Amino acid sequence: MGNAHYPDKATGMPAKRLRAGVALALAAALAGCGGGSAVRPAPVPGRVALPATWPAVAPQDPAAANAVLMRALSLVGTPYRFGGNTPESGFDCSGLVAYVYRDMLDRALPRTTAELARLGPPVGPTGIAAGDLVVFGPAGSVNHVGIYVGEGRFVHAPSSGGTVRLDRVDGPYWREHFQGGRRLLQ
């Protein structure tokens, strides 16, 4: 992982600080600090209702889920790039998901968001577990995908000019576009 005092090539952060930040983010995501607000807007017909508190659902394969989460969180800060699918080139949302699963589990996934949104069985918000995919889009379609980390949070590559980041499923934009989850780790 490099010398602890020299910057990581992908993020520019000192390696020791990067490892500590990734470990802290994962611990916070899995340990239950944070949690959702007790008040949610009334559900809109045709949209998925989100829970007031995100239940802790154990992944079916904890080792695989941990590997996926650690790799996804280590990529936070990588630049967004349409069509990107490596840390060196940057990522778009589907490129990030495909890269993480290929890199950590040697699992080839489809390259498009629409194809990813059809993989595995669907999972509702109260059954979503770490390592599951979360899909978003306007009613009736899907245009974004990320990796769920727990406590209502997910890692994704959101848009041009941005970077891979950790956001909340129930954040202002995402809650309005949440379409559900897909279970890949079985």
Catalytic positions are 93, 144, 156
Contact 155, 146 (CB under 8 A): yes
Question: Cα–Cα distance between 177 and 156 in angstroms, integer?
Answer: 14
Q: Which segments of the chain are extended strands (E)? A: 85-86, 90-91, 122-123, 133-136, 144-150, 153-156, 165-168, 178-182
CA 176 remoteness from chain centre: 17
